[in-house]
Structure 1
Amino acid sequence: MISLKPPALKLAARRTAATDLRPWFGPIHPSQPSHVRTLRQVNPEPEDTETGANDFILSILHASPSVRDSKSYLSSFGPQSRNSHQKLKPTVNLPDIDPRPPLVTTNVPPPSIDAVKQQVAEILDPIQRHTALVKIQGPFTDVQLESICRGMVYLEKLGLVSVIVVERDDWKRGEDHERSDAIEEALRIVKALEGQGARARPVLQAVARLGPKPGDPIDVPTDSLVDPPEAHALPSDLGAIRSALRAGEIPVLVPFALDSFCRTVRIDANYVIAALARGMVEAAQLSSSTPMGPYEFDLTPLRLMIINREGGIPSYARSGLPHLLVNLESEFRHIQDTFQSQWFSSHPSALSNLRLAQACLTYMPKSSSAVVVSHRSPRSLIANLITNKPAQSSSIPHALLSGSKKVTPHTPTIIRYGLPIRVVRSIHELSKPKLTALLEQSFGRTLDVEAFYARLDASLDFVIIAGDYAGAAIVTNESDPTDPSSPPIAYLDKFSVLPEHQGDGTVDFLWVALHDESYGLGLASALNPNVGGRQGRGTGRDLVWRSRATNPVNKWYFERASGHVRVGGHWAMFWCDAEERIARKEASLREAWGIHGLSFVEEDEMGRAKRWGRIVEAIPSSWVRT
């Protein structure tokens, strides 16, 4: 027997922010044949009140780094080779903290306290040191600046040294004291950094030059996503930054540049930061052949951090709350086109910061990211450094982010260079060799090529492709074997991402596109302009898929599915309800709420899970039996 909640509760679970979405671990137990979300009160996240060393350690634990996150962090900040500068690991005294997350039921034993301490100790002992470009976009009070500078000091302890450029929203070009005001603000930030125990150096001379770099093309294509450069920095201009870094100091720069007459003028900080992003990457490439000593830095910036008062970039799909993760390759133009008029007042620098991220990430390593964050979220800077991911997954429906996962105006926006997303609807548009290689590498099994593509030829609905087959989601139309005349269901046949792209945002980019083309169709949140996609036009369909009951990925599926049920001997079947249909029923229930005798299962949902189960069980395996 399948027990579903009443329509009102089911809609509330899909559309309100009160659902408990703690991760689900382990296989589906036979004594629990089905599951649909239930409402449960979640305790709000406590305020950040700790200070000192414990605050630093708790900030790391608050990031909740996974094993993959920790390995990724240590691959950049840990020892790189035998020639790397080595040092003895210090003794790190960590508080006794229970590593088990609250309100989680799991068959997997939690990590021991010693294991958690060891993980944190490794993170606290960076060997390689890298740089981050940071824009402190005030004005900030002394208390706010103290909090920001404490975050900069924490990042330095983790091996990421900030190259700070100052900016204030209340500065106006052409004022009499604009240069002296900029210098005063830089000195104020230096004082705040030193008050937190750091060593800082004001860099008061110009490190950028107005105009494009010599040799750059004069004409920029009209369809280019990157603004033409307003300034540039040569490797020889970075001497003051190198000197500060070698001396163990955080450089704090004023937004000055040299004009064509070698006069120092104040310019927009974004122009200076974009020039530094390119100049520091080029300088690092020139010195890459020289082994780094203990006081040398890889100048290549790994992060761009924009700390402001307004928070992240507002999203039309989240009713003005911030984007969690932005894929520049496919969303840059669309975010600009859907930017609402009222946001020009509430978030006046959002689009300029988005363009800054686009300009910088064009030159920075593909693994780099940008974060746009309010001064109210200092811990998110550490979380972004260690995990390189948003605070919450962008592929979880907005209505299901509740409690400590709730999106607020101060939730940061993470920006990745990303990958283009396209949708194809014919098997003849696919590169079978590339798709086969993707599936086999992702699943670690051998594809039954002939049978698999013969089935796709007969039942393919669409395939979403990320980049050059870095990831793919395959959806087919599957009919009921006992009732061929009934409408087919939308079945997620394969969802796969290359191992090297797991953890870089591709999984979320792909699932968001899957939402837009299937169960999210018909809503404003499905308007993303995927090449070949429907741009939100159409009627959403329930999306169904299966997974082995012991598959560890089921935890990830559970967080995104409307429900799941055990089918057959080894399968867990998941589904996502068509959101446009749910929204319509929610509206009708508002009018009919006073009517008694509402059924626990709506008429059009009677027996659907049993029907889906028959279809899912009948789908043949795609793999060669071993």
Structure 2
Amino acid sequence: MSILRANPSLRDTRSYFASFGPRPKPALRPSVMPVEERLPAPSETYEAEEARPPDIHQQPRSHVVASILNPIHRRTALVKLQTPFTDRQLESIATGMVYLEKLGLVSVLVIENDRLPKGEDGERAALLEETMRIVSALENQGAKARPVLGAVVRLGPKPGDEDAEQRDFAVPEAHTFPSDLVHIRSALRAGEIPVIPPLALDSFCRTVRVDANDVVAALARGMVEATEADGHKRDATYDGYSDEFDLTPLRLMIINKEGGVPSYARSGMPHLLVNLDAETSYISETFDPRWRASHPTALSNLSLARTCLAYMPPSSSAVMVSHRSPSSLIANLITNKPAVSSSLPHALLQGNRKLTPHTPTLLRRGLPIRVLRSVAEIDKPKLKALLEQSFMRTLDEDPFWARLERHLDYAIVAGDYSGAAIVTREFEEREGATSGTPIAYLDKFAVLPSHQGDGTVDFLWVALHDESYGLGLPFSANPNGGKQGEGEGCDLVWRSRADNPVNKWYFERSSGHLRLGKWIMFWCDAEKRLKTVEGRRGSAGLSIVEEWEHDRLPRWADVIEKIPSSWKP
């Protein structure tokens, strides 16, 4: 039921099977044997061949049997568990861990006790007791768990880090070598969940308590480096159903009592999706001091997520979740998406029943976002490659660039042209001259196929919202290199072919649509104007058609239908 409630799309399902489905057997090269070895000896008969006992050690295992016995490819997740929890709360968390294991995600748990001050007598004994309590909770739910009571990380930066280039994330204050992970490897290979207290070896080989964030960050880096050192190579006899596992963490999960990171845009309700590359500093700067009491570890966990995801694969994500939402972990595993899309209109987000103080925050490494105001700032070859790969058509370059020179308002670029949104100014033409207020027209919205499903689409649309129909409101002040919330919002209009499979996504994010033959015209109303009009009317709200809405649809339709195609026939 938890999987069904996650409502995975076809793309989500394919992504899940790509990570956890059985690995195909690599093609074996045909062995070339000398002719005399391939031909039977003259004295050898068919009967003698039949009478020979089979060599059971060389019998290949049936793929059908193997796939039934071990149908999933196991992956690992790093989990930070911020205790203390009651027995009932631990039972709920353990149930979630067991479900994840059944789906192929085996957790490596690192515990932290927020109520146990550092340096007190008996703190190590208390941590070990808490570790055993969590092991018992997991085993009571049917899982196999192993306490790893010794230190698996070493205190201090990793040798050689002092010579490394300056990084834009916090380097872990601990490190680990592949040989230190032997107990974690052993537990995972045996199908057990390792449970690790926040201990480290200092330079005198003493075991000392450290911050759990340092242990988690050191493991994230160390497990990735250990996998790289292994080369993750399979020999020619690997049949795709081995008991081996992938040590590289696929997910980072932070389970606590406070939930996700509070959002300034939603009056303290959690952020839904965070672009760590672009938003970390701004979230820290806008963190309300009143939230420090209710969410004391939110910013430190935000920093932890950025550090870990910097080492983990680009497809990885982190989730900050309350112990009240264990089913959210299953939904995140299947879809790798937030509970509610952050690019939906704010009116829908504010009234959505799925949004509660315990809604998880999904964090992705993300991409930097910048706004370009002139064609001269655009890298034409990269934008051309992006558009052609995204739309799978050939760009008619000369007319396209000439049109942008005349009409470009701005272009929003994600990363190194992994995605882009191009907005132009369109005018009515009457008797050979332009007239009226310009129309903000979304000319192109494109994301590379390799970045579809990793959050780039939502990050790009949120930036587009902040520069157009969401401009002028406090929650549009994101650091995307544009106007940062200052100015007046405007209606945003665009068109899409009637048979475009993306239209479902547009329907959910637009204020309305109008069918125009082979096209569908979409638009988003300026949110500040809607809020102002609604405030003036008080309890009466908005009417069906406001004065400023009269005749605008025919005018928009007339303009956008005349916009030429950007593609070669």
- TM-score of the aligned structures, taking structure 1 as reference length: 0.81
Matches for 1:59-74 after TM superposition, within 5 Å: 59-74=2-17
Pair 1:283 & 2:231 matched: no
Q: Which amino acid aligns with 2:142?
A: G
Aligned to 1:171: 116
Quote how far apart the aligned CAs of 1:403 are. Answer: 7.1
Q: Which moved more, 1:300-309 or 1:280-289?
A: 280-289
Matches for 1:3-82 after TM superposition, within 5 Å: 58-82=1-25
Quote how far apart the aligned CAs of 1:126 are. Answer: 4.3
Quote how far apart the aligned CAs of 1:521 are. Answer: 0.7
Quote how far apart the aligned CAs of 1:600 are. Answer: 4.0
Give ranges in structure 2 of 5+ residues lacking alignment: 28-60
Change (3 A) 1:372 1:89: farther
Quote how far apart the aligned CAs of 1:417 are. Answer: 0.5
Q: Measure the CA separation in 2 of the matches of 1:494 and 1:149.
A: 46
Q: Measure the CA separation in 2 of the matches of 1:203 and 1:434.
A: 49
Pair 1:542 & 2:491 matched: yes
Aligned to 2:49: none
Aligned match of 2:79 in 118, 134, 140?
134
Quote how far apart the aligned CAs of 1:495 are. Answer: 0.5
**More relative contact order in 1 or in 2 (CA 8 Å, sep 6+)?**
1
Deviations 1:110-153 (A, max 9, x none): xxxxxxxxxxxxxx974321110001112211111011011111
**Match of 1:480, SS?**
strand
Quote how far apart the aligned CAs of 1:234 are. Answer: 1.0
Change (3 A) 1:404 1:601: closer
Matches for 1:186-265 after TM superposition, within 5 Å: 186-217=131-162, 221=166, 224-265=167-208
Q: Which amino acid aligns with 2:379?
A: S
Aligned to 2:522: 574
Change (3 A) 1:87 1:524: farther
Q: Measure the CA separation in 1 of the matches of 2:72 and 2:491.
A: 50
Aligned to 1:338: 286
Quote how far apart the aligned CAs of 1:544 are. Answer: 0.5
Q: Measure the CA separation in 2 of the matches of 1:354 and 1:405.
A: 25
Aligned match of 2:506 in 547, 550, 557?
557
Change (3 A) 1:179 1:129: same
Q: Measure the CA separation in 1 of the matches of 2:79 and 2:421.
A: 36
Pair 1:519 & 2:469 matched: yes
Amino-acid identity (%):
66
Q: Which moved more, 1:82-91 or 1:463-472?
A: 82-91
Q: Which amino acid aligns with 2:18?
A: S
Aligned to 1:604: 548
Aligned to 2:98: 153
Tell me, yes or no, if the aligned pair for 2:339 and 2:354 is still in contact at 8 Å.
no
Q: Measure the CA separation in 1 of the matches of 2:399 and 2:71.
A: 50
Q: Measure the CA separation in 2 of the matches of 1:286 and 1:543.
A: 50
Q: Which amino acid aligns with 2:557?
A: G
Tell me, yes or no, if the aligned pair for 1:372 and 1:414 is still in contact at 8 Å.
yes
Pair 1:589 & 2:534 matched: no
Quote how far apart the aligned CAs of 1:609 are. Answer: 1.0
Change (3 A) 1:67 1:405: farther
Aligned to 1:622: 566
Pair 1:505 & 2:449 matched: no
Deviations 1:212-247 (A, max 9, x none): 0111116884xx431232111111111110111111
Change (3 A) 1:179 1:70: same
Aligned to 1:434: 382
Aligned to 1:347: 295
Aligned match of 2:326 in 344, 365, 378?
378
Deviations 1:519-551 (A, max 9, x none): 1111111111113x1111111110001111222
Tell me, yes or no, if the aligned pair for 1:256 and 1:265 is still in contact at 8 Å.
yes
Tell me, yes or no, if the aligned pair for 1:209 and 1:232 is still in contact at 8 Å.
yes
**Match of 2:162, SS?**
coil
Q: Greater Rg, structure 1 or structure 2? A: 2
Tell me, yes or no, if the aligned pair for 2:429 and 2:435 is still in contact at 8 Å.
no
Change (3 A) 1:457 1:410: same
Aligned to 1:41: none
Q: Measure the CA separation in 2 of the matches of 1:168 and 1:366.
A: 30
Quote how far apart the aligned CAs of 1:284 are. Answer: 0.6
Pair 1:362 & 2:310 matched: yes
Tell me, yes or no, if the aligned pair for 2:72 and 2:103 is still in contact at 8 Å.
no
Tell me, yes or no, if the aligned pair for 1:481 and 1:618 is still in contact at 8 Å.
no
Aligned to 1:320: 268
Quote how far apart the aligned CAs of 1:622 are. Answer: 1.1
Aligned to 1:106: none
Would you say how many aligned residue pairs link Structure 1 and Structure 2? 529
Aligned to 1:36: none
**Match of 2:170, SS?**
coil
**Match of 1:278, SS?**
helix
Change (3 A) 1:599 1:366: closer
Tell me, yes or no, if the aligned pair for 1:329 and 1:418 is still in contact at 8 Å.
yes
Q: Measure the CA separation in 2 of the matches of 1:418 and 1:442.
A: 19
- TM-score of the aligned structures, taking structure 2 as reference length: 0.89
Quote how far apart the aligned CAs of 1:404 are. Answer: 6.5
Q: Which amino acid aligns with 2:527?
A: E
Change (3 A) 1:345 1:289: closer
Q: Measure the CA separation in 2 of the matches of 1:435 and 1:68.
A: 25
Aligned match of 2:347 in 399, 411, 430?
399
Q: Measure the CA separation in 1 of the matches of 2:315 and 2:467.
A: 27
Deviations 1:273-320 (A, max 9, x none): 000000100111111254287232211000000011111111101111
